[in-house]
Structure 1
Amino acid sequence: MTWKQAVKDYQHYLKIERGLANNTIVNYCLDIEKLVAYIENRELHLSPITITEDYIKEFVYTTAKEVNPRSQARMISGLKSFFSYLVFEDYRKTNPLDLIEAPKLGRQLPDTLSETEIDTLIQAIDLSKPQGERNRAMLETLYGCGLRVTELIELKLSDLFFDEGFIKVTGKGNKQRFVPISGQTVKFIELYRTTIRNHQIVQKGFEDTLFLNRRGKQLTRAMVFTIIKRLAEKMELNKSISPHTFRHSFATHLLQNGADLRAIQQMLGHESITTTEVYMHVDRSHLKEVMEQFHPRK
């Protein structure tokens, strides 16, 4: 079995049997490609079947010098998953990464913005330009509904159920969920639709896409990152932010204002409550108030 064939079969497995999104599959395979390049550069005649733990260790420890512990842990996890698949399919008897330990990582808390910072950021949008209304509607949707950037750019007109107060979101692995939408977010989306989008020439295949670029096509993830980065620079915000920062802020602010963690989990589309629980660690300021209010020895 060649590396090319093994990776192709693995991608098929991730898509069909695991139901992972294309972006996730690409990320899973990046480190396999690095391993293949490492083998080829050293002219080692090793296949996915014959490569041993010693060569994997050599690759991991050589690469570890070039990346941070988090990237190293992700790399080991990704390779372990690939070789576990080969074992599962009976191509190999053992996984060469079984005894290779990933570096211990502390919990990394997500960056968030305050409500004031979000308001200021959105107010910094130049509404004199046509894309201004679109950008405001996008950021209001990111923050108001807690969406991932891919979920935002793939949002369809047919996904909007404003009369019912929900939007239908297609998340990781094509799993769909309904997320509540506030009247304010509805207002800005409708303003964008009626004043800008309805007057655009829409390219074939994008008739149902909500947020369009100037050429009438779907926006890219990179474009949304760029829009937010420029706004942060404009208001001289000394924080490294991305579209995901709005999602983190959405969850954090809900929790701070008393929302149930299980409800937040459903809105974010997290499979496990443990993923959502990271927001319990973001802001501890309310814990003292809870103690004073509910403990019998206050």
Structure 2
Amino acid sequence: MKSWESHIKDYKTYLKIERGLSENSVNNYLYDVKRLLQYVEEKEINATPVTITEEQVQQFLYDTTTELIASSRARLISGLKSFFNFLMFENYREDSPLELIEVPKIGRKLPDTLSVEEIDAIISAVDLSTPEGERNRAIVETLYSCGLRVSELVNLKISDLFFEEGFIKVTGKGSKQRFVPIGSHTQKYINFYKDSIRNLLDIKKGHEDTLFLNRRGKGLTRAMIFTIIKRLAEKIELNKNISPHTFRHSFATHLLENGADLRSIQLMLGHESITTTEIYMHLDRKFLNDVVNKYHPRR
């Protein structure tokens, strides 16, 4: 009979090859299964992924998720359901021990949206007297102007820049690629960083094509981008909880408020479903009132 490690290894291969998930997504799915495995080992439960029962999984959830908020509990249950659905698909199990366990319903909390003035203030707060400052300005401009995920930004290559055509090539979730328009304003800041700052670095092997680098000539991490944004927000005393994703959200919201259609925004964000884009949009009531007052015949 196969061990936990063997099933988890097969599941990892399935997530990477057949579902085409990114390394981050794969690790998140595996983390959920490994939590269950750790519990089984600690409690000395004699069960494999094939033999573990509904009651044993329910006890695990009761013992480990009571203190978790609804969103964390929902993520754990969804991750385990995916694993046992895989085992059923591969004919290792006939049923799932989570079949009758419901995922907690959670409200979708959207990030704060920045106004254009707030984004300008953040960019103005960048210290341009340092080489990193020129890089950071280009980073913030790119996040907002192209609506990129933070993982897409750190993986952006020089060979992905098609400035003459006015596009950049972005590699998104599941290694899916899309072309996103980039304006001359943002192109100018990227070119200045690339030609005047980046080319002075001692670029390490394997990072020759990576656009945004740290001072040691290596690619930036996601955590570094979060830190850059957090420090800029603190500098202007911005009373909002923002992250790199806030700029992506603001990009989409501002486009929508200025008349862009959802389908175009969907393509630029790289959403597979238009439904995701619709949920993603946050429209304040003032904007909705403006629409009615401008377009309704009984305004």
Q: TM-score, normalised by structure 1?
A: 0.97
1:77 Cα deviation from its structure 2 partner: 0.7
Aligned length: 298
Match of 1:226 in 2: 227
Question: 1:29 Cα shift?
Answer: 1.1
Which SS does the other structure have where 2:168 is aligned?
Answer: strand
Partner residue, 2:11 = 10
Verify: 1:249 aligned to 2:247, yes or no: no
Deviations 1:27-51 (A, max 9, x none): 1111111111111111111110110
Mapped to 1, the partners of 2:291 and 2:127 lie a distance apart of: 42
2:151 maps to 150
Tell me, in whole angstroms, the C-alpha distance in 2 between the residues paired with 1:79 and 1:141: 36
Q: SS of 1:168's equivalent?
A: strand
Deviations 1:220-242 (Å, cap 9, x if unpaired)? 11111111111112221121111
Partner of 1:99: 100
For the residue of structure 1 that corresponds to 2:286, the secondary structure is coil
- Report the counterpart of residue 217 of structure 1 in structure 2: 218
Inter-partner Cα distance in structure 2 for 1:128 and 1:265: 37
Which residue number corresponds to residue 29 of structure 1? 30
What does the per-residue CA deviation read over 1:60-113, in whole Å, with 9 as the maximum and x for residues that have no partner? Answer: 122222311001111111100100000000000101111001111123223221
Tell me, yes or no, if the aligned pair for 2:257 and 2:287 is still in contact at 8 Å.
yes
Partner residue of 2:278? 277
Deviation of 1:159 after TM superposition, in Å, equals 0.4
Does the 8 Å contact 2:263/2:274 carry over to 1? yes
Deviation at 1:281, TM superposition (A): 3.7
Root mean square deviation of aligned Cα: 1.1
* Counterpart-to-counterpart distance in 2, 1:274 and 1:8: 33
Distance (whole Å) between structure 1 residues aligned to residue 237 and residue 289 of structure 2: 33
Question: CA–CA distance in 2 between the matches of 1:60 and 1:105?
Answer: 17
Counterpart in 2 of 1:294? 295
Q: Show structure 2 runs of 5+ residues with no match.
A: none
- What is the SS of the residue equivalent to 1:8? helix
Partner secondary structure for residue 285 of structure 1: helix
Are 2:84 and 2:97, in contact at CA under 8 Å, matched by a contact in 1?
A: yes
**Bigger shift: 159-168 or 104-113?**
104-113
Whether 1:46 aligns to 2:57 is no
Q: Aligned equivalents of 1:170 and 1:51: distance in 2?
A: 39
Tell me which residue corresponds to 2:169.
168
Shift of 1:292: 3.0
Matches of 2:293 and 2:84, distance apart in 1: 52
User: Within 2, Cα distance between the matches of 1:96 and 1:124?
Assistant: 53
CA distance 1:94–1:279, change in 2 (3 Å): closer
Equivalent position of 2:269 in the other structure: 268
The answer on 1:235 being equivalent to 2:236 is yes
Identity level (%): 65
In structure 1, list runs of 5 or more residues that go unmatched: none
Q: Is the partner of 2:285 in helix, strand or coil? A: coil
1:291 maps to amino acid:
V
TM-score normalized with structure 2 length: 0.97
